[in-house]
Amino acid sequence: MDHKAFISTLPKDILADLNRTEDAPGLRHLAGHAGLILGLGLWIALGLPLWQLALVAQGIAICFLFTLEHEATHKTPFANERLNEWVGRICGVLIALPFEWFRYFHLAHHRHTNVPGKDPELLAGAKPGTIGEYLVHVSGIPFWIDMLDRIIGSAFGRDPGDFVPERAHRRVIVEARWLMLIYGLTLASLFVTPLLFWVWLLPCLLGQPFLRLYLLAEHGRCAFVANMFENTRTTYTNRIIRFLAWNMPYHVEHHTLPQVPFHRLPDLHAHLQGQHKVTSDGYAQFTREYLRDLK
């Protein structure tokens, strides 16, 4: 049974219940994630004991806002559509991932998951196949270069890609220009106080490798086929990672029914028992197996 056949077996009332969005679960989760970032930022700013370790934790907490921005492209974290939009945009500012552009990039990824020549994630760059490629990929450097190029290019009107409809081109350009202004003001602020460097910029550089490792497990070493049960991996992990990643380790579940909000993915996982083709018992296991197969 592929994912489409599975969906057809779900009773309509169960499907409707799984698809129902709510504000309260998302707001509670957002309060916890934002509170963690603010608390760690205060720890660093005050120079409390072990503040150097807090830099890494802060970077992980900020970089994993990617998973919230990703969810916002599906309009599922909250029932309020405007709230989804603005949370997605703010996350995009914090992690240098333009929300308007990423929305269409990611939806194209869902339409053509792991299909060579069609999935924009594969077109943007193949998964690392050698130790050298792996180290460069995990460093996060290619991401920062790509996003800097994307933002500057979009601000000056460069074609955002075939997956972005023409009606959205203007929004992509305007957002990129706002991002350039925000980042310009951020850099200017460093001549007055280094605060943003210590609580935001440096932590993001330190946290990005952890996000790269996490994202590699979603489709890395999965089949290049259209069946979501084969081209996507669900990773069994602990509550801390599920919290930071907004339940996205349930990734087969998310790709099977992307309209299911993050807080209902554990329920969908229960319905999917027996259907998973690709799983890992934690990110450490996935990483060991990935490294073992590298050239």
For the chain, percent of residues with pLDDT exceeding 70:
100
Closest of 286, 248, 226 to residue 76, by C-alpha: 248
How do residues 56-79 score in pLDDT, each as one tens digit? 999 999 999 999 999 999 999 999
- Residue 1 predicted with pLDDT over 90: no
Residue with structure tokens 């980042």? 183
- List 280's β-bridge partners, or say none: 235
Closest of 269, 206, 205 to residue 237, by C-alpha: 269
- Other C-beta atoms lying within 10 Å of the C-beta of residue 190: 12
Specify the pLDDT at position 126: 73
Q: How far apart are CA 242 and CA 233, in angstroms?
A: 14
pTM for the structure as a whole = 0.96
Specify the pLDDT at position 46: 97
**Quick check: 26 and 78 in contact, CB under 8 A?**
yes
At 41, the pLDDT band (50, 70, 90 cuts) reads very high
Q: How far apart are CA 248 and CA 4, in angstroms?
A: 20
How do residues 179-190 score in pLDDT, each as one tens digit? 999 999 999 999
How do residues 95-138 score in pLDDT, each as one tens digit? 999 999 999 999 999 999 999 999 999 887 778 999 999 999 99
